[in-house]
């Protein structure tokens, strides 16, 4: 088993970057008044990166070890995300899907921070922020051009609420 030795500065960088990324996505969710925000996303990011760094330093860098940890973390985070998904009382809409997806995304991103893949983290966070900030505007433009989708049985769909 090949053990990985990381200095305190490298560990702090990996954890700090994960926390910053999680906090940024969480701030977006807070600003949209969603069920999970800055603190929740920050904790998910920090815990995921911490477990990943711990796996690297304590269990070695064998692909089996890292793969099992990744599988367990991402599956477990799915349950946390499921907690923010709710069916509206009108039984037509489901809310919280974007927040749940963002929680899962932050966990995966934080795992990459823990592994030290900073280039991929940079690309992913830039794309995610662009999507979260500009996605609604793009949806509205597409709806104006092509019209709002409807379900044949239920008539026009109500406005989306993530």
What residue spans define the domains of the chain?
8-146
Average of per-residue pLDDT across 61-71: 77
| pLDDT of the residue at 155 | 46
Q: Which residue has the higher pLDDT, 156 or 129?
A: 129
Confidence of residue 156 (pLDDT cuts 50, 70, 90): low
Q: Are 89 and 123 in contact (CB under 8 A)?
A: no
- Structure tokens belonging to residue 115: 């592994």
Residue 103 has pLDDT above 60, yes or no: yes
| pLDDT of the residue at 60 | 66
Report how far apart, in Å, the C-alpha atoms of 50 and of each of 27, 30, 130, 160 are. 21, 24, 26, 35
Cβ burial of 8 (10 Å; 0-12, 13-18, 19+) is exposed
Confidence of residue 153 (pLDDT cuts 50, 70, 90): very low
| pLDDT of the residue at 88 | 73
CA 112 to mean position of chain CA atoms: 12
Work out whether strand 86-87 and strand 150-151 pair parallel, antiparallel, or are unpaired. Answer: unpaired
Confidence of residue 159 (pLDDT cuts 50, 70, 90): low
Tens-place pLDDT, residues 10-36: 999 999 999 999 999 999 999 998 888
């Amino acid at each position: 088993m090949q053990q990985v030795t990381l200095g305190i500065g490298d560990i702090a960088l990996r954890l700090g970057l994960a926390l910053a990324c999680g906090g940024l996505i969480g701030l977006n969710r807070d600003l949209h008044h969603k069920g999970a925000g800055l603190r929740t996303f920050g904790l998910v990011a920090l815990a995921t990166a911490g477990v990943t760094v711990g796996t690297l330093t304590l269990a070695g860098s064998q692909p089996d070890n890292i793969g099992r940890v990744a599988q367990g973390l991402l599956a477990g985070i799915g349950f946390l995300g499921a907690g923010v998904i709710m069916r509206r009382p009108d039984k037509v809409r489901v809310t919280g899907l974007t927040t749940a997806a963002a929680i899962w995304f932050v966990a995966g991103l934080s795992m990459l921070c823990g592994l030290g893949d900073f280039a991929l983290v940079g690309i992913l966070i830039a794309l995610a922020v662009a999507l979260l900030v500009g996605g609604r505007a793009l949806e509205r433009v597409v709806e104006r051009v092509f019209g709002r989708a409807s379900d044949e049985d239920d008539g026009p769909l109500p406005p989306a609420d993530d």
